[in-house]
Structure 1
Amino acid sequence: MKSWDVIVIGSGAAGFAAAVTACCKGLSVLMLEKAPQFGGTSAISGGAVWINDSDQARQQGKSGPEQTIKTYLKTIIGEQHYRPEMVDAFVSSGREALAFLEKEGAVKYSLRPLSPDYYPDEPGAVDVGRALEVVEYDGRRLGDRFRELRSPPPGMLLFGGMMVNRVDIQHFLDMRSSLRSFTHCTKLLLRYGRDRLKYPRGTRLAMGNALIARMATLAFRKGMSLQLNVNVTSLIESNGEVTGVEIEHAGQKSVLHAHQGVVLAAGGFAAGRLAAQYRPKTRQHYTMSPDANDGAAFRLTAPLNARQGADLPSNFFWAPVSVLRHADGSEERFPHLVTDRAKPGVIAVNQRAVRFVNESNSYHHFASAMQSLEENAPCYLICDALAMKRYGLGLARPAPVNNDALIKAGYLHKADSLAQLAQALGIDGQTLTATVSRYNHDAASGSDTEFARGGNSYKPRNGRSRPPA
């Protein structure tokens, strides 16, 4: 029977953090991943972390006392759900954990120059000091393993395979009016062109892809073994302890032993049937989670009398998602996180053709509003020609990209008047016209009388034409 000191189930950021830590302590590690590529949801995420009192914050004089963040968390979590022992552990150990991984070379983060907390008006909230973003990484350092790293969805890449981060996006928006931005983008494009001569996509990695790639590079260098396409069928228990796993790979079953323990980092259940039992009943639901996140951890731990978390205020990480249906029947999904909803010239309306939410709210709050009333989902993001030209919308790219294919596919609707657009969407034209008229009047006066768009430090952040670099 094959054995390792530690077996890690799952290859996202949590799994790699555990694997790297074990490797750095001199332990032998085996990582098992159900999917044909490693990285999980983390590889297609933004990769940002929210840590109090990080070294990065200290270096820039932006660190805050523990009590401030505890006050903030207690306010937004609420007395009923607040668990002081969990919050204390997070607040007191976050900096230490991140510093350890950075010292070993497993991660590299920088402090965001402006990233207000999602509830900026609550006690203890800050505009800068807690949010850290991933520093870009050269995927070529992974060697042959680069091809096994999960790629972001096509809609989140430029030109079929090029990753960009927050700063890059702004440079692309400004490249026709700024020599600095033009130079920046030209360098990126030349690098990408060279990459495509040898690789299936660009090797300059950003966000969650860079996070996983850097961690994986270190883990492989320290001897971690990785097996893909492995289905863990059960956990092996002996005298009240988990001592190994039973797996199925390529049609063959086998048993693997773990001397020190098994780390369960198998992702969630957003892509599985189990999700329907916990999420609100909506007419349409699309997840960005990989198919492998089917709730395997529940199945594996049930025989061991594991207990699910109970009385949670929210079991899901929500975001509005649009869907492009290709001619071959396949679907491409796009999460509307930060690139379009909050931009000038963009509003969201529901089935009654009225606004129902502050478009610059966080993605979680926006999607929660969609679920509050049946008429709010599906909803429509509507913009004028200038906003489309400057920022794009979902999978539609800003000028000079031609988006006619998206119009033909029915993903994007274009009309010469609001009445015509309303007819195409199947909503009331007079109401839509009135909605836009009221919004434009408020915009001209500088005050959103319906939803206070731009009313605090968070809401203007993603609407800025030039966010801080």
Structure 2
Amino acid sequence: MQANQDSRWDEEVDLLIFGAGAAGMTAALIAHHEGLKVLVCEKTEAVGGITSTSGGTTWVPGTQLSVDAGVPDSVDDARRFLQSVVGERGGDEAREAFLQSGPLAIDELQRISDVRFVAAAAHPDYVTGPGAAFGGRALAPVPFDASVLGADFARVRPPRKEFMGLGGMMVNRSDLNALLFPFASVGNFKRTVAVVGRYFIDRLRFPRGTQLVMGNALAARLFYSLRKRGVDVRFEAPLVELVRENGRVTGAVVGSKNGATKRIGARRGVVLATGGITRHPALRKQLFPAAAQPLSLSPDTHTGDGVGSALKLDALLENGGDSPGLWMPCSIRRSGNSNSNSDSVWPHIILDRAKPGLIAVNGRGERFVNESNSYHDFVMGMLRDEGKGASVPAHLIVDAAFIRDYGLGLLMPGRSRARIAEFERAGYLVKGATLAELAKRLDVDAAGLARTVETYNRHAASGEDPAFGRGSGPMSRFNGDAAQKPNPCVRPLGDGPYYAVTVWPADLACSAGLAGTANGEVLDAQGAVIPGLFACGNDLASIFRGTYPGPGTTLGPAIVFGWRVAKFVAGKEVGHCVDQQTRPQACLHDAP
């Protein structure tokens, strides 16, 4: 929209932010702290976006939190690591800005708000290489008691239903074993009573449990911080159109639930943090591989509003480098009705793929990837397949002992025969008395599967996997079973019966996005800054260029670049720290 200089706004703020995920809420908090008048417009009725349904892990190297956890991390090591992972794919300036600003952003966010993280002492990077870390870089949100939000708790997007028990209870990973085996010990029983009892008390006042963990805790902490500080957050207020005057973005047209619109001016700029292109109907078809287009883990409302509006102003779209999407293998339990939203979709993150006694095969019955790779790299293997044929879908195959020890997908470990039979009847779990029978039911080449299992078992008997090197890296060994010797990720498949679940590629976020500077300024097709327009989160192209270095490599940059955008808009120049020991305050000063 081209407007005249004498345009009259319905209202005016300093900074207008679209999207209330981790990136948008971080930018709002920091900008407000710097004295700016901020308005956050959220398209839906709740904050959180992808953040609220994620694991919440936030990858930021070199923080004081790593020192506090006893695993001090180095920005220099992280720089070497990212150079080995990303290589010459570009984006060096933005990655350097991320590395230098990360410790500062996390420090200030914790200092001025109710956001709290703890560095994981053991949560390895997803890729091996020089400078890789075993712990310290993955920051986990501290659990949050959302009852302090009162009625506003309803404004926090719930996590995925598959991650809640009893219809609305979130469970910390440390409590999972107690809840799965409550009668295994007195300690397990007491912990189960405490967690479930707290949940039932919550349900007397709230629609779900208020003890939040993972990404839901992070989203709620950010929202609570905004509410405490009186930052204006408006719901069901989508971006309709950006307003550009004399080449500068000066505001936007904002929609509402009743269809009315407002023209809101933004003296310092407009920030796009609307969740990226995952559900944009045209860009998804244009950029995503056909095999990965049907399934997405992002909210249905993430239709690329921010990116689409910027493209109308001739903004530059980057294709994501190695991959436009960041991927997760998912199994689906069909509900049996026409409403796909009733289906249960299970992300295969860490609970089964890295465990010993599981193999993943394609339609030829052949393994195609290291099953204990990160979820992103596992799906990259599905999509790549070396041109030999489709590995979409793929099948995770195990024996009965594996089900007992580790479960499989939606089926938790130690389940009864009746529970296993229920999953079979639903078509989620496929059973075969023999490998040949299983292959027939999966429509997999039986001879290929037999050869694959024979070869795998022969090497697995001594804990080896020469084909794909399972258990050779710190991350895969960490997610395996330490009790399995000599390799925590490898053991032979036993005699039948055999079981399988089918997995499909789903995007959990996007790597493709708007081109931007190290301060989140959006660039046009000629590489020039579009004045007054900023992007962060998934609206901004990934600084990792389609690679996935470690846990939380979307949330880390989302928070750090939200922080950088706010500092830049507020006139603060973000300098470079000499090393991680430099006091954060010394790295910031007013721009001249």
TM-score, structure 2 as length reference: 0.74
Pick the aligned partner of 1:230 from 225, 229, 237: 237
Measured after TM superposition, the shift of residue 417 of structure 1 is 2.8
Find the counterpart in structure 2 of residue 382 from structure 1.
397
**Equivalent-residue separation in structure 2 for 1:31 and 1:337 (angstroms):** 32
The equivalent position to 2:302 in structure 1, one of 272, 293, 302, is 293
Counterparts in 2 of 1:371 and 1:327: CA distance versus 1, 3 Å: same
Q: 2:314 aligns with which of 300, 305, 311?
A: 305
Written as runs of structure 1 = structure 2, the 5 A alignment for 1:48-447 is 48-79=57-88, 81-120=89-128, 122-173=129-180, 175-249=182-256, 250-273=258-281, 274-282=283-291, 285-309=294-318, 312-331=321-340, 332=343, 333-373=345-385, 374-400=389-415, 402-447=419-464
Change (3 A) 1:366 1:158: same
| Distance of 1:171 and 1:344 partners within structure 2 | 22
Structure 1 contact 112–131 (Cα < 8 Å) conserved: yes
**How far did residue 178 of structure 1 move?**
4.1
Residues 284 and 378 of structure 1 are in contact (CA less than 8 Å); yes or no, is this contact kept in structure 2? no
State the alpha-carbon separation in 1 of the partners of residues 201 and 420 from structure 2: 26
Q: Whole-Å Cα distance in 2 between the matches of residues 104 and 260 of structure 1?
A: 22
* Counterpart Cα distance in 2 of 1:429 and 1:217: 55
Kept in 1: contact 2:43–2:235 (CA 8 A): yes
Higher RCO (CA 8 Å, separation ≥ 6 residues): 2
Q: CA deviation at 1:174?
A: 5.5
**What's the offset of the Cα at 1:320?**
0.8
Alignment gaps of 5+ in structure 1: none
Equivalent residues of 1:175, 1:182 under 8 A apart: yes
Partner of 2:576: none
Q: Which residue of 2 aligns with 1:28?
A: 37
Quote the offset at 1:454 in angstroms: 0.5
Secondary structure (helix, strand or coil) at the match of 2:261 reads: strand
Q: Report the Cα distance in structure 2 between the residues aligned to 1:245 and 1:184, rounded to whole angstroms.
A: 51
What secondary structure is seen at the aligned counterpart in 2 of 1:447?
coil
Query: Aligned AA for 2:213?
Result: A
Q: Secondary structure at the match of 2:209?
A: coil
CA distance in 2 between counterparts of 1:93 and 1:304 reads 29
Take 2:474 and 2:123, find their aligned partners in 1: how far apart are those partners? 9
- Whole-angstrom distance in 2 between the partners of 1:60 and 1:211: 19
Residues in 2 aligned to 1:47 and 1:102: alpha-carbon distance in whole angstroms: 15
User: What one-letter code is carried by the residue in structure 1 that aligns with 2:299?
Assistant: P
Aligned partners of 1:172 and 1:209: how far apart in 2? 20
The CA distance in 2 between the partners of 1:33 and 1:257, in whole Å, is: 17
Distance in 2 (CA, whole Å) between partners of 1:463 and 1:295 is 37
CA change 1:60–1:209 in 2 (3 A) is closer
The match for 1:41 among 50, 56, 61 is 50
Contact 1:272-1:291 at 8 Å conserved across structures: no
Which SS does the other structure have where 1:107 is aligned?
coil
Separation in 1, partners of 2:407, 2:320? 40
**1:173 Cα deviation from its structure 2 partner:** 4.8
| In 2: Cα distance, 1:408 partner to 1:174 partner | 25
The answer as to whether partners of 1:51 and 1:130 remain within 8 angstroms in 2 is yes
Structure 1 residues 310 and 423 mapped into 2: Cα distance closer, same or farther (>3 Å)? closer
Provide, for residues 45-65 of structure 1, a one-character-per-residue CA deviation record: whole Å limited to 9, x for no partner.
111111121111122442233
1:248 alignment partner AA = G
Equivalent pair of 2:18/2:238 in contact (CA under 8 Å): no
Residue deviations 1:208-254 (CA, integer Å, cap 9, x gap): 10000001001011112222222211111234332221022112122
Separation of aligned partners in 1, 2:183 and 2:356: 19
3-state secondary structure, aligned to 1:460: helix
Secondary structure at the residue paired with 1:46?
A: coil
Q: Deviations for 1:174-205, whole angstroms, at most 9, x for unmatched residues?
A: 54434433332332111122222332221111
Tell me the CA shift for residue 93 of structure 1: 0.9
Offset, 1:11: 0.9
Deviations 1:65-114 (A, max 9, x none): 332211111111112x2433222211111000000001123421111121
CA–CA distance in structure 2, aligned partners of residues 345 and 188 of structure 1 = 32
Contact 1:106 1:215 in 2 (8 A): yes
Q: Comparing 445-454 with 407-416, which one deviates more in the overlay?
A: 407-416
Contact 2:145 2:211 in 1 (8 A): yes
Question: Partners in 1 of 2:200 and 2:400 — Cα distance?
Answer: 31
Displacement of 1:311 in angstroms is 7.0
Cα deviation 1:336-360 (Å, max 9, x = unaligned):
1112211223221111112111110
| Deviates most, 289-298 or 458-467 | 458-467
Give the drift of 1:400.
3.8
C-alpha contact (below 8 Å) 2:353/2:371 kept by paired residues: yes
Relative to 1, partners in 2 of residues 1:311 and 1:298: Cα closer, same or farther, differing over 3 Å? closer
CA–CA separation in structure 1 for the residues paired with 2:108 and 2:16 = 21
